[in-house]
Amino acid sequence: EADITRYRYDVVVIGAGGAGLRAAIAAREQGKRTAVISKSLFGKAHTVMAEGGAAAALGNTNADDTWHTHFRDTIRGGKFLNDPRMAELHAREAPDRILELEYWGALFDRTGDGRISQRNFGGHEYPRLAHVGDRTGLEMIRTLQQRVVALQQADAAELGDPDAMLQVFAETAVTELVTDDSGAIAGAFGYRRVDGGFVLFEAPSVVLATGGIGKAFSTTSNSWEYTGDGHALALRAGASLINMEFVQFHPTGMVWPPSVRGILVTESVRGDGGVLRNSEGERFMFGYVPDVFRAQYAETEAEADGWYEDPSNNRRPPELLPRDEVARAINTEVKEGRGSPHGGVFLDVSTRMPAEEIHKRLPSMHHQFKELADVDITAEPMEVGPTCHYVMGGVRVEAETGASDVPGLFAAGEVAGGMHGSNRLGGNSLSDLLVFGRRAGLGAAARADDHQGSGVSEERASASLARALAPLKQGQGVNPYTVHTELQETMNDLVGIVRKGPEMEEALERLARMRERTDMLSAPGDRVYNPGWHLALALPNMVLVSEAVTLAALERTESRGGHTRDDHPEMSPQWRKVNLAARHGDDGVSLTRQPLAGIPSELLALFDDDELAKYLTEEELS
Ligand code: FAD
């Protein structure tokens, strides 16, 4: 039988994107022995792919911006379903986290007078996104990794070993969390992708920072890693997931050629002046401004165009509505026959600014379209359509510490729920990673102060090992690629942008059958870099998470943010008070309804009564 290499740490962080790295830095700075594990190469995470920027009310480009307006925009974007405490901490602390990154060496783009420049993005009242061209995530990861290396160099000098206090385990995938008899975290079990060797990390504190679930859908901006591992590990360990019905479809992914369908076209294209048109040349977004946002958006093209130069005297263009609104509008245009030749709509920035300016502001987009679609975005429009991008739902955590319901288990970043409510604003993820990554790292370190962890028995480790080996031993079993394709089509077609009760019921039936088949997955070959085996281990996670998404989406009989019900188009004030929490038990996933915390009155005062009347119940209003 295969050997298991054991390690013991104070804090184990699973995931090396922005949230994981920031958590690891925080835990290490508290003097804790910390491991960071990532299933991809170190440095390759969604965070590195982030283009547009990180939202923080620095007030550099418009001095009127404050954390209060950032909080208000975030709550508006999430349609009042955000955890108010998380939204508050995020808005308050994001500026310090950005400045700290700069202190650690990040080189953001500059204003004329040398401060960090900020760009416009959907749903943000002021220019707020600190950015580096359209490669912001790259700079963020580079800086955080540099900070990790700096800490390791200090340890090498002082302790003679760079890994003494902070060690990175790249290309290592965690397949199970291990809990002790009391239900508290005892460790994490996984395998090395390169040679198939097994590893067991014992620790009193584990931070999940595994990112999203996009690979459960067929059209997605997400890359191969995003199989909902952290969401599923948390569920199986006894934690609850909230907001799982809210999946963000980014309005603009590439639609052509088929091999690149879903790849992201950054919102910066619209933030910097790109307009959306249908096949009739109409700037259709003017027809899709919902009542709740009407007061803040331009009614004519002249006003919308005027806003780029003079935002004080013009209202924002409707292309910059929150993502859910724009995605639904594009979906409708295409369905009603006004789409582009390959089933999207047109996005044009070429008429807004000269080619040199586009090269400077959107270098990656220019390169991406030229290389992948032979389209020159400085001279012609792009074809774009919605793509599954981000999951608002995730592990229910305590705002201050990132602690989940399972003692010793923490979560931060995309795998955590609550912060973004029913819809995330662009730019609010990168700032979320920094604010709550740091908080989860501190929370995990504090727990390690007075908990040793109970260790993991041989018996328990062998059981994890047997489950990991099962697909290799299953001779004539089910092909994981076949089930994965079925899953992606089911989620895309039946639990996608616009949902209907009977379709989701069918999805649940299909998912139940897929769940049975995942017990019989077979991946012939050995353990050395065997992608079929890797998929066989990740697929049950995607199926489990998809069940949580679908159950919650069926249960929530209203439309809000990233959840649109064709059969329940209204937004209901009663549902605004409810979080659906998914748990995992012997009978699979089940849901409970839990009350959502109210917004403190001093923050509620940021909104007009007219606006509140659209969201709150009569009782709350009085
Ligand atoms: P990630 O950065 O996704 O990292 C997850 C980590 O977990 C990886 O290291 C992965 O290897 C690891 N992992 C996963 N499963 C396992 C496992 N089982 N075992 C071990 N390790 C595991 N947001 C913004 O705010 N602004 C933007 O401009 C922006 N642009 C984006 C552009 C694109 C193309 C995409 C896809 C997303 C964009 N987003 C943006 C969203 C944002 O990038 C992500 O939400 C965010 O980076 C998630 O960070 P994270 O730290 O939670 O996880």
Tens of pLDDT, residues 159-207: 999 999 999 999 999 999 999 999 999 999 999 999 999 999 999 999 9
Whether omega before 257 lies within 30 degrees of 0, making that bond cis, reads yes
Distance CA 415, CA 404 (A): 11
Return the percentage of the chain with pLDDT > 90, whole number: 93
Q: Is ligand 1 within 6 A of the CB of residue 412?
A: no
Distance CA 525, CA 532 (A): 9
How many A from CA of 17 to the centre of ligand 1? 6
CB 443 within 8 A of CB 408: no
Pairing verdict, β 498-499 and 564-565? parallel
3-state secondary structure of 115: coil
CB 166 within 8 A of CB 155: yes
Distance CA 363, CA 374 (A): 15
Cα–Cα separations (whole angstroms), residue 519 to 132, 203, 215, 470: 45, 29, 20, 9
Cα–Cα separations (whole angstroms), residue 410 to 393, 417, 468: 15, 12, 24
How many A from CA of 227 to the centre of ligand 1? 11
Give the residue, by CA position, lying nearest to ligand 1 atom 12. 15
Catalytic residue list contains 270: yes
pLDDT at 140 over 90: yes
Return the percentage of the chain with pLDDT > 70, whole number: 100
β partners of residue 452:
none
Q: Is ligand 1 within 6 A of the CB of residue 139?
A: no
Q: What's the pLDDT at 1?
A: 65
How many A from CA of 435 to the centre of ligand 1? 15
Dump pLDDT digits (tens) for 12-56: 999 999 999 999 999 999 999 999 999 999 989 999 999 889 999
| Per annotation, catalytic residue among 250, 277, 499, 584 | 250
Mean pLDDT across the chain: 96
CA atoms within a 13 Å half-sphere pointing along the CA-CB vector of 298: 23
Task: Compute how many other C-beta atoms are within 10 angstroms of the C-beta atom of residue 338.
Answer: 16
pLDDT at 553 over 90: yes
Pairing verdict, β 382-391 and 247-254? antiparallel
Token pair 């067991």 is at which residue? 200
Q: Is ligand 1 within 6 A of the CB of residue 52?
A: yes
Q: CB within 8 A of 602, min separation 6: which ones?
A: none
Q: What are the φ and ψ backbone dihedral angles of 225, each rounded to 5 degrees?
A: -70, -20
Respond yes or no on whether ipTM tops 0.95. Answer: yes
Distance CA 214, CA 17 (A): 16
3-state secondary structure of 509: helix
Helical (H) or strand (E) element with 593? strand 588-595
Distance CA 552, CA 243 (A): 8
Distance CA 73, CA 87 (A): 10
Dump pLDDT digits (tens) for 445-487: 999 999 999 999 999 999 999 999 999 998 889 999 999 999 9
Dump pLDDT digits (tens) for 567-597: 999 999 999 999 999 999 988 999 999 999 9
Vertex 569, ends 568 and 574: CA angle to 5°? 70
How many A from CA of 49 to the centre of ligand 1? 8
Stretch 104-127: mean pLDDT = 94
Dump pLDDT digits (tens) for 198-212: 999 999 999 999 999
Q: Is ligand 1 within 6 A of the CB of residue 387?
A: no
